[in-house]
């Protein structure tokens, strides 16, 4: 039995004894007694003069700071702070603590998510970096962001974020400009006026509000906000790249596979950049052989704006060439941007329609977990979005992003990775409800 020289010392130890276990330096598991002995050795080695009672106090502090020792009220507070971004009322925290004590921390998390700040602050800040190339968290609210927030509130199958005919706008709010296809005033006014998005947003369809044909809608990819960022100028490849980054947590460099055929790489890509064909064969082709066949899904889209009067495209709008609408430069539905720089390699692939193919179903990128229920090819952005959103990588990416947002850190060890796997399974089995991922991530990290 561990003996103490003074009653005061023994009583202090008894305060810490029920703590059982702790984690020291995040990986070495030890008992409270071992922590105390370690501290004494450190103090002796350092030749620091300190009373034994102070050593016990420090031991208590280390032990009681461990996640396993956080009481239910502390866990409720941490949950609420991280989900809502603001402190919860005493009655709310007590209600959450009661649920935690009853073994239902997920229900406690859902109470925290009833706070309007979960939508106006947490979700807004979570989504906003996806809406622009700079990943600027301070960018204004727009239809991309609002649509994701609305989908989360209404428990909409999150796979529709890349394929649905869906759009959220505010209704019944005085002093708010109507939605416009050529500016962002509707959403910026909502944000500037501090309107409660948890009640103001109403679900509608892009086809009803923006005029896009329903079969040309593809969730957030065909919102005005996304078009302004990723269809503006360029060749529309940016839309695919940033969709992969934001919704499959994978940039093109990680997908590079030079073993795939380069037959769909467009004319605008030189086959000998800088006069060295080896660069194309060993680098460029590794990304473009998979990217170009998928990005062809965007062949009929453009973001039109006045380059001289409005160089930033603040008053531009997304356009789509429906059947019978021909681009004057290509004399087809394919927009002119898809035929630019054709002289770079005249023998390259010429886009004639919006047929896409997923070459990444072969080779090393099979590991993204493509759905066997889908064919791997199709026409237009909607079906291509379905291809991406039904992959295993899409589901795990959403959960990983939520985990980092709620836990304020990236996964660090086998326990974290196991938790993410379990949360991903729950996310999918619950109809891809993104709030399930938030609730379970908050529960997992509540004791930290």
Q: Assign 3-class secondary structure to 315-364.
A: CCEEEECCCCCCECCCCECCCHHHHCCHHHCCCCECCCCCEEECHHHCHH
The structure's pTM equals 0.85
Rounded Cα gap, residues 139 and 191, in angstroms: 11
Which residue(s) pair with 204 in the sheet? Answer: 167
C-alpha 94, offset from chain centre: 31
pLDDT at site 21: 33
Question: Does the pLDDT value for residue 215 go beyond 80?
Answer: yes
> What's the distance, CA 326 to chain centroid?
36
| pLDDT (tens digit per residue) in 186-199 | 999 999 999 999 99
Span 337-366, mean pLDDT? 98
Quick one: pLDDT at residue 39?
Answer: 54
* Predicted local confidence at residue 3, as pLDDT: 37
Q: Is the pLDDT of residue 291 over 90?
A: yes
Query: Taking residues 247-253, what's their average pLDDT?
Result: 98
The per-residue pLDDT for range 111-134, each reduced to its tens digit, is 999 999 999 999 999 999 999 999
**pLDDT (0 to 100) of residue 328:** 97
pLDDT at residue number 46 = 53
* Residue 448 confidence (pLDDT): 86
What pLDDT was estimated at residue 61?
52
Residue whose tokens read 């921390």: 105
Q: Provide the percentage of residues in the chain whose pLDDT is more than 90.
A: 84
Q: For 45-99, what is each residue's pLDDT tens digit? A: 555 555 654 555 555 555 444 444 469 999 999 999 999 999 999 999 999 999 9
Query: Quick one: pLDDT at residue 35?
Result: 54
Measured CA to CA, the distance from residue 388 to residue 247 in angstroms comes to 8
């Amino acid at each position: 039995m561990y003996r103490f020289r003074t009653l005061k010392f023994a009583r202090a130890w008894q305060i810490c004894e029920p703590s059982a276990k702790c984690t020291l330096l995040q990986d070495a598991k030890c008992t409270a007694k071992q922590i105390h002995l370690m501290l004494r050795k450190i103090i002796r080695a350092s030749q620091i003069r300190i009373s034994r009672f102070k050593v016990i106090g420090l031991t208590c502090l280390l032990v009681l700071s461990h996640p396993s020792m956080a009481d239910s009220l502390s866990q409720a507070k941490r949950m609420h702070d991280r989900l809502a971004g603001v402190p919860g009322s005493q009655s709310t925290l007590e209600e959450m603590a009661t649920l935690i004590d009853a073994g239902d921390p997920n229900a406690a998390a859902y109470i925290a998510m009833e706070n309007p700040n979960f939508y106006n602050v947490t979700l807004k800040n979570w989504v906003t970096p996806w809406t622009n190339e700079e990943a600027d968290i301070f960018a204004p609210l727009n239809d991309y962001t609002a649509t994701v927030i609305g989908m989360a509130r209404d428990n909409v199958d999150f796979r529709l974020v890349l394929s649905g005919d869906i759009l959220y706008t505010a209704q019944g709010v005085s002093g708010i400009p109507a939605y416009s296809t050529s500016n962002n005033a509707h959403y910026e006014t909502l944000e500037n006026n501090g309107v409660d998005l948890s009640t103001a947003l109403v679900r509608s369809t892009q086809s009803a509000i923006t005029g896009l044909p329903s079969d040309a809608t593809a969730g957030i990819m065909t919102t005005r906000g996304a078009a302004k960022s990723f269809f503006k100028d360029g060749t529309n490849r940016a839309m695919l790249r940033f969709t992969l980054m934001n919704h499959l947590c994978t940039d093109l460099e990680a997908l590079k596979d030079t073993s795939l055929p380069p037959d769909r790489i467009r004319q605008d890509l030189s086959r000998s950049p800088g006069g060295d064909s080896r660069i194309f064969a060993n680098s460029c082709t590794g990304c473009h052989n998979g990217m170009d066949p998928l990005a062809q899904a965007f062949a009929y889209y453009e973001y039109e704006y006045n380059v001289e009067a409005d160089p930033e495209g603040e008053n531009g709008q997304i356009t789509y060439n429906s059947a019978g609408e021909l681009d004057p430069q290509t004399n087809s539905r394919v927009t002119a941007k898809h035929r630019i720089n054709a002289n770079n390699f005249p023998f390259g692939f010429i886009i004639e329609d919006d047929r896409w193919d997923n070459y990444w179903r072969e080779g090393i990128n099979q590991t993204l977990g493509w759905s066997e229920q889908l064919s791997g090819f199709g026409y237009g952005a909607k079906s291509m979005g379905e291809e991406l959103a039904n992959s295993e990588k899409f589901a795990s990416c959403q959960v990983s992003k939520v985990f980092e947002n709620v836990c304020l850190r990236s996964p660090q060890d086998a326990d974290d990775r196991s938790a993410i796997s379990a949360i991903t399974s729950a996310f999918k089995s619950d109809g891809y409800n993104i709030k399930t991922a938030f609730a379970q991530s908050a529960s997992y990290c509540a004791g930290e």
